[in-house]
């Protein structure tokens, strides 16, 4: 209660209001106190857990988690992981895989950024996640980790706040470094692994995709079924898949295109990328809303034409499958970004109305706000060293309750 009292005192000093009597706080009904705690930011909630045993036990209370899931405002945060610098994730994965048996590395800590306050938080993961797994996807407060070693892939779903972990069954088909997509709702869960079939020790072919579906409302459960083959002459980007309105999307290179998989119709299709002959380092991201928007962010370099070099943002029209340019990085910001990036490439993450661009081989991050139209550099992360490495990011919504994990681990189904 001391933190609440201090806040009240500060407010009283600024507005002339009278501080609430401590006896009133002491006599508040427990249910009302729980509702107050349920809407606190995650860091404040965990700080207040130290007040008493009952508050400490709230993280294990079904009724409190239900209230938190219902009342807590959505927070569009970003989560980053500091990884070894590499411009080719497939090569990096192969190198890691060759020594995975001898010395599997523990998962790196999760570095959380709140773009509205510019506050960084650090969450260690090695105490509840096994070594030999790397971050692969995220959605609705769930982080997905994939096994590093080649072969049948094992995925872990984790809530880093509650330290809840669920193991998915291994995939039937061996793969090297597939693209991973995840979408989760209050009572449903869907994952997809696409491409990089490991058909021999000396050849990797992009042929198939496998899907995992679970729906608690209907009781539907389909573990790792093979879906339709990917389009011919495609090379999916292993970085990430995004999900919007029932469809997964991923980039394909050589030539650049966007692959889409409609979950309901079990159908893959190819969408032509805008200005594909002049794009460099294209990346897919998602902008929240109703409906959400699929974005392509890329550097445009047309050296022989009178078009300024820039980083541009296109939005996909869901019906016509046409792209519309919506944003362009200002020249001064692009000059700074170009100097920092140095041609190494970049990746993008979208969450809500925030777009984040991470630079390969660097810990620098540039942010764009779709509402204010402001481009700005994120504050340096205080938990990264200056000796090297790069940040790989995902959209992250901090949630104390992630009931979708309970669809995998029956021991956590108690409050559904």
pLDDT digit string (tens) for 96-148? 444 444 478 899 999 999 999 999 999 999 999 999 999 999 999 999 999 99
Helices (H), 49-182: 53-56, 62-71, 89-98
- Distance set, CA 146 to CA 70, 89, 123, 128 (Å): 30, 14, 19, 15
DSSP state of 149: S
Pairing between β-strand 197-200 and β-strand 247-252 as defined by DSSP bridges: unpaired
User: Of 142, 162, 138, nearest to 46 (Cα)?
Assistant: 162
pLDDT digits (tens, 9 = 90+) for 217-271: 888 888 898 887 888 777 777 767 999 999 999 988 767 889 999 998 989 999 9
Which one is predicted more confidently, 18 or 275? 275
- Using DSSP, state whether 73 is helix, strand or coil: coil
Q: Average pLDDT of the chain?
A: 84
The radius of gyration of the chain from alpha carbons, rounded to an integer in Å, stands at: 23
Confirm if 171 and 152 have CB atoms less than 8 A apart: yes
Confirm if 260 and 246 have CB atoms less than 8 A apart: no
Residue 184 structure tokens: 């989760």
Q: Quote the CA–CA distance of 40 and 48 in Å, as a whole number.
A: 10
Residue 295 structure tokens: 């974005």
Rounded (10°) CA dihedral 199, 201, 206, 212:
70
* Cβ-count burial 64-102 (b if 16+ within 10 Å, e if not): bbebbbeebeebbbbbbbbbeebeebeebbeebbeebee
Confirm if 177 and 170 have CB atoms less than 8 A apart: no
Residue 332, number of CB atoms within 10 A of its CB: 9
pLDDT at res. 11:
37
pLDDT at res. 8:
36
**Mean pLDDT on 393-415:** 76
**Residue 92, CB half-sphere, CA atoms under 13 Å: how many?**
14
pLDDT at res. 87:
42
Q: Quote the CA–CA distance of 325 and 305 in Å, as a whole number.
A: 18
Verdict on whether the full-model pTM lies above 0.95: no
Residue 338 structure tokens: 């170009």
What sign does the dihedral 88-92-95-98 (CA atoms) show? negative
pLDDT at res. 229:
83
Confirm if 143 and 112 have CB atoms less than 8 A apart: no
**pLDDT at position 416 over 50:** no
**Crossing angle (nearest 10°) for helices 62-71 and 30-38:** 50
Residue 80 structure tokens: 């980053």
In DSSP terms, which residues pair with 166 in a beta bridge? 157
**pLDDT at position 155 over 90:** yes
Assign 206 a pLDDT band (cuts: 50, 70, 90). Answer: low
Q: Quote the CA–CA distance of 250 and 261 in Å, as a whole number.
A: 9
pLDDT at res. 307:
67
**pLDDT at position 149 over 60:** yes
Assign 93 a pLDDT band (cuts: 50, 70, 90). Answer: very low
pLDDT digits (tens, 9 = 90+) for 158-190: 999 999 999 999 999 898 889 999 999 888 999
Which residue shows structure tokens 């970004």?
Answer: 337
The continuous run of DSSP H or E covering 252 comes out as strand 247-252
Which one is predicted more confidently, 11 or 314? 314
pLDDT at res. 16:
53
pLDDT digits (tens, 9 = 90+) for 4-58: 333 333 334 444 556 767 777 778 888 888 999 999 999 899 999 888 899 999 9
């Amino acid at each position: 209660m001391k933190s609440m009292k201090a806040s009240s005192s500060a407010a009283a000093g600024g507005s002339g209001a009278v501080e609430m009597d401590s006896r009133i706080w002491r006599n508040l009904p427990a249910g009302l106190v729980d509702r107050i705690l349920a809407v606190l930011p995650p860091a404040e909630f965990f700080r207040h857990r130290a007040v008493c045993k009952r508050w400490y036990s709230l993280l294990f209370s079904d009724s409190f988690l239900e209230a938190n899931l219902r009342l807590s405002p959505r927070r569009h945060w970003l989560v980053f992981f500091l990884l070894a610098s590499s411009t080719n994730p497939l090569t990096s994965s192969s190198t890691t895989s060759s020594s995975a048996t001898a010395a599997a590395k523990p998962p790196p800590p999760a570095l959380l950024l709140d773009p509205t306050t510019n506050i960084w938080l650090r969450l260690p993961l090695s105490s509840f996640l096994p070594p030999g797994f790397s971050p692969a996807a995220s959605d609705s407060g769930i982080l997905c980790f994939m096994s590093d070693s080649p072969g049948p892939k094992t995925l872990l779903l984790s809530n880093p706040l509650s330290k809840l972990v669920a193991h998915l069954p291994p995939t039937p088909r061996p793969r090297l470094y597939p693209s991973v997509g995840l979408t989760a709702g209050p009572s449903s869960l869907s994952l997809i692994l696409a491409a990089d079939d490991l058909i021999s020790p000396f050849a990797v072919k992009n042929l198939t995709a496998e899907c995992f579906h679970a729906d608690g409302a209907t009781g539907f459960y389909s573990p790792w079924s093979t879906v339709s083959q990917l389009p011919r002459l495609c090379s999916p980007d292993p970085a990430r898949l995004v999900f919007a309105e029932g469809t997964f999307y991923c980039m394909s290179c050589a030539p650049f295109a966007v692959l889409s998989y409609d979950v309901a119709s079990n159908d893959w299709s190819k969408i032509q990328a805008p200005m594909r002959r002049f794009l460099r380092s294209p990346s897919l991201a998602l902008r929240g809303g109703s409906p959400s928007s699929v974005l392509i962010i890329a550097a445009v370099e047309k050296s022989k034409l009178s078009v300024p070099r820039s980083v541009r943002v296109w939005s996909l029209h869901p019906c016509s499958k046409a792209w519309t340019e919506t944003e362009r990085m200002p020249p001064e910001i692009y000059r700074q970004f170009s100097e920092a990036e140095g041609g190494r490439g970049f990746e993008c993450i979208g969450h809500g109305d925030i777009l984040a661009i991470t630079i390969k081989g660097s810990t620098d991050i540039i942010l764009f706000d779709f509402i204010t139209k402001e481009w700005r550099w994120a504050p340096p992360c205080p938990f990264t060293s200056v000796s090297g490495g790069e940040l790989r990011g995902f959209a992250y919504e901090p949630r104390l309750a992630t009931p979708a994990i309970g669809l995998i681990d029956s021991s956590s189904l108690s409050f559904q």
